[in-house]
Amino acid sequence: MLKRTIKFTPIAASVALTLGLTACGSDNDGNVYVPPVESVTSSDDAQFNVEVTGKAVKGAMKGAVVSVMTLNATGESVPVAFRLEASAEAETFTGEATSQDAADAAVEASKLAGNPDALITNDSGRYSIYLEDNFSGPVYITVTTSEEGDDSFLRCDAYVGCGTYDTAPEEDNVNDGDMNIEFGEWYKADLELSVVKYVAPVKADSSEASGAAGDANVARSFRANVTFLTTLVAQALLEAEGDIDADSIAATSLNTIVQIMGPDAVILLSALIGDLSNGGAVDLSEVDGEESLSQGVLMIAQLSSSIQGLPSITDAMASIKAGIASGTLSTTDIAKTLQIAVSSTASVFTAIATGDEVAIKNALEAAFLANNPDATAEEIAEFAQNSAGIASKAKAAKDQAVKNGAATDEELAKLAIVVQAALEELGCTEDECVIEGDFFAELAVELSAQIDASSVELTSLQASVESAEATLVDVEELASTVTDLETAIEFVAAVAALENEAEASNLAASIDTLHVKAQGYVNTATLLVSQNSDYQSILSTAATLEELALIEVNKVETYDSALAQLVIDAESIITEYEIEVEAAKEIALNTADIADEKKTAANTSEAASTSALAAAQSAVNSAAMDVEIKVEAAINAASEFSAAVNVLELAVQQSIKAAQDYLDASVAESDEELEAETLLEQAEIMASEAAVQAELANEQLLTALNLQEEAQLVVATASVKVTSESLSAMTVLTNTGGQSVIDAADILVDVIDELGGMGNSGDGSSTRQPDWSYNYDLDALTLALENESTGEMISASASYQGDKLVVAWGATLMGDEGVSIKLVTGESRTAALEECEQFAAGTITDPTQIDSCLIFTFDGEVDADTVDDAEIVNTETWNHVEIMDGESGFVGMLNLTADDATDMGTVTLEGMSGDLDFKVMGMVDSSGDEDESTLEVMVKGDTAMGYTLSLTGMESTGYTGDVKAMYNGEMMSFGSANKVTNGVSITYIDGDVVSYTDVDLIDSSK
């Protein structure tokens, strides 16, 4: 708070007293008295301990100029006071002026005067600023690189490159010396990115909160990454000229990301969409592990990488911004260009995560062609020549990301596939862009799942922190026991071991990442609650997670500070007891022992991985029932092998350093020097062996991942075979069931033909089918047939409707071997006929809503007197069918059509057979010299696998086709099919040939 005081000088006080006594403004000589101007002084105590930190990435922007502003009530950018380090204690700022407002302004100007002259990002694009402890509101940060005039650079993280240099740089360990700006290379460019971060008011209970940067002077910490997406959000917020707070940032972020990525993909960004500045600042060419590579982060990183590969980043961003503002982004040219670029990036990343360098090289060349359709043969050849080197860099970047803890190899492989699928179709159109209740419900489910996963992770981290604290206490207690050389060496070695353990666990980075995630969960949960208060429980859970994570942040900060003090104490002990050589020796021996332990663990993991991989390969080759289980075990074993090698490599690095320190401390030509050289040599040999194991672990994981695809195909093929076998038992396809239907049709034809030569009505027994009795009335257009011995019956009721004769009919028929066929009709003839009349007239359009109807269409209007002379041009029947043969059954609709004009006939049978969703579509073309038939049998069971058996051909040449099923989102052929005598033969993709007999799939005579 500003402290306002009014100061009076002695002269001013005297004059004021005189004026008070005389109550007059002039003297006896007529001179006018002018009172002195009062001086107002204002002061304020300020401590700069609110951290705002992040990275500017489009790849990384190093040496970039950072501008920090705030936004006033009218939305204008105005300076804000900040520092580059957190304040250890409060500073006092004063100002003096002629009015209170002017004095207050002078205080603020004094704070601003203390701002740093320049703020630039480091080599990773990192920046950090510290605002006043009572600051709240929006902070507007811009990061700028320039093509000329400073030392700012962009790093290219686009797999297909970022254009060309004006002048080729010298060849070094980053640049290869040619004119192409390739993946991982630095280059100069004009680019400005920005972010608007809302700093919430301080909470009442935040006095003990600390930042995530490991600085005890930080009271609160906010992540504010600067990326392509945060720039679009910031520009939209500034142009809207409204109030900027957490709600407006969340709403703008959501609208931006939905229009770019589409609502389905956005669900995967659940932890970030409330504030996109919380994540996604990942340079794919150098992932430092500060941010875990979740599906959302990978999506943003790949999108950003794709933008960088376009001819002009600035132009692309301007076009995207305009498309979002107008709500028509998906229809723009930039959307089409971006889709190609993003799809290419995703395919390359999948190759990096799941393939070797050859696969990466092939994916790179395909991506280059997709992004450069007009490339010359020379340009294509040049990229192909360089693609092997790019593939090597890309794989190395992935391997380093794993070593840095951003993700495991297994996680990246799985994430790559998910992200590639999510990025196959960007954007949204019309109603898709309208975010409503269903979207938020789906978002709530995904967010809850991520919160649950992070809660499990927090529990594990809490245990690790507790263990680390306990070890720390043990070492601190050891310090009090130092009384001689032996105890001094023991203490120093223990401190060194603790340092190594802390480096290996990397607790600070892990808990920091989780804490930032939790902040993102809270932002998104707040967005959900703004839509529906029912989501309050999700917000409460997220807030609790954030609070608990912050507690661990504080613990780790305390731990790191205590460890740093122990290191200082150890150095003092070394000096005090003069044990530099002895301590170095003990540390070197201890780290060598630990490296040996990690080597043994890695060897054990290698053996387990090798064994599991062999078992998986055998299971795939033999199409074993448990193939997926064994392949998953191989993937897990290979992933554990890789993790064990990573631990080993760090332990070896620590051993090498300790051995070198021992060597440096040793006296020349002494026993210690010889021992140190031996330890160093052994550590370096172990490092070489670890590198070989790392390659083997990577190879085994890739092999296991490829086996997973084969295993899935084996399981899918087996499922297709089972489905094919079920076809042979289906009544609607077997000869037994089919013949029963034909026999019933023969009976009906015989009786109707017999009745044709009789009167308008009558009843009796058929002479052609003695078991059947009949009752008919041509005036009423009714017919009933009954078989008293079997209980079979056929009934029909008809009416003339313009050019149509509409028949409602039903039947209960019995075939051989217990087969029964029922054509379902209405409860009464009148109701059934009325329903069929409405269907024929088009009043009822859904055939599943009717029972059994037969419709004859003539070449003109017909009635009882004209029907005999009319010509039928089309026949169609929709029947509600129930068929049972004792083993399987079918319930559904049977549609038959016959078009006399085209000599085309079709049959559609659709419904359920057992637990299978079953559909048959057949067609007979009789327009030629020989009937040509086509048949498709589609089955869908509980496995959600779409299955289609297709056959086509002629009787003289034979019927051939294939079996297809849904696999990885597409219909895939699982085998070829041929019509054989009394059935069908299928040759599956695994070479297995299976014949299904007693199956009559195509027979035009029936």
More confident residue, 943 or 228: 228
- The stretch 428-455 carries a mean pLDDT of 90
> Looking at the predicted structure, is the pLDDT value of residue 19 above 50?
no
Quote the CA–CA distance of 693 and 644 in Å, as a whole number. Answer: 10
pLDDT for 745 equals 62
> Looking at the predicted structure, is the pLDDT value of residue 907 above 90?
no
Quote the CA–CA distance of 101 and 99 in Å, as a whole number. Answer: 6
More confident residue, 668 or 463: 463
> Looking at the predicted structure, is the pLDDT value of residue 556 above 80?
yes
Q: In what order do the strands lie in the sheet with 91-97?
A: 2-7, 39-46, 91-97
pLDDT per residue as tens digits for the range 662-673? 999 999 889 999
pLDDT for 8 equals 33
More confident residue, 938 or 855: 855
Quote the CA–CA distance of 232 and 266 in Å, as a whole number. Answer: 16
> Looking at the predicted structure, is the pLDDT value of residue 23 above 90?
no
> Looking at the predicted structure, is the pLDDT value of residue 696 above 90?
yes
Of 351, 352, 340, 347, the closest CA to residue 310 belongs to 340
Lowest-confidence range among 64-78, 148-162, 526-540, 572-586?
64-78
Strands (E) across 815-888 are located at 820-824, 853-858, 872-884
For the whole model, what pTM was predicted? 0.76
pLDDT for 10 equals 33
Quote the CA–CA distance of 521 and 223 in Å, as a whole number. Answer: 13
The count of C-alpha atoms lying within 13 angstroms of the C-alpha of 161, restricted to the half-sphere facing its C-beta, is 24
Q: Which amino acid is at 453?
A: A
Of 991, 990, 937, 992, the closest CA to residue 959 belongs to 937
Quote the CA–CA distance of 219 and 136 in Å, as a whole number. Answer: 13
- The stretch 402-419 carries a mean pLDDT of 90
pLDDT per residue as tens digits for the range 976-987? 988 877 678 889
Tokens of 320: 């995207």
Q: Output the average pLDDT for the chain.
A: 87
Q: Which amino acid is at 494?
A: A
More confident residue, 746 or 126: 126
- The stretch 284-309 carries a mean pLDDT of 91
pLDDT for 904 equals 82
Highest mean pLDDT among 38-42, 96-100, 168-172, 732-736: 96-100
CA distances from 405 to 400, 412, 615, 689, 820 (A): 9, 11, 29, 22, 66
- The stretch 931-956 carries a mean pLDDT of 74
> Looking at the predicted structure, is the pLDDT value of residue 781 above 80?
yes
Confidence of residue 28 (pLDDT cuts 50, 70, 90): low
- The stretch 207-231 carries a mean pLDDT of 74
pLDDT for 816 equals 65
For 316-355, give one letter per residue: b (16+ CB within 10 A) or e: bbebbbebbeeebbbebebbebbbebbbbbbbbbbbbbbb
Of 169, 192, 167, the closest CA to residue 64 belongs to 192
pLDDT for 195 equals 97
pLDDT for 549 equals 95
More confident residue, 1003 or 360: 360
Q: What are phi and psi of 954, to 5 degrees?
A: -125, 160
Lowest-confidence range among 273-282, 394-403, 870-879, 913-922?
913-922
pLDDT for 730 equals 58
pLDDT for 729 equals 59
Confidence of residue 24 (pLDDT cuts 50, 70, 90): very low
pLDDT for 20 equals 38
> Looking at the predicted structure, is the pLDDT value of residue 45 above 70?
yes
CA distances from 753 to 113, 480, 769, 795, 849 (A): 109, 115, 11, 16, 32
- The stretch 335-349 carries a mean pLDDT of 95
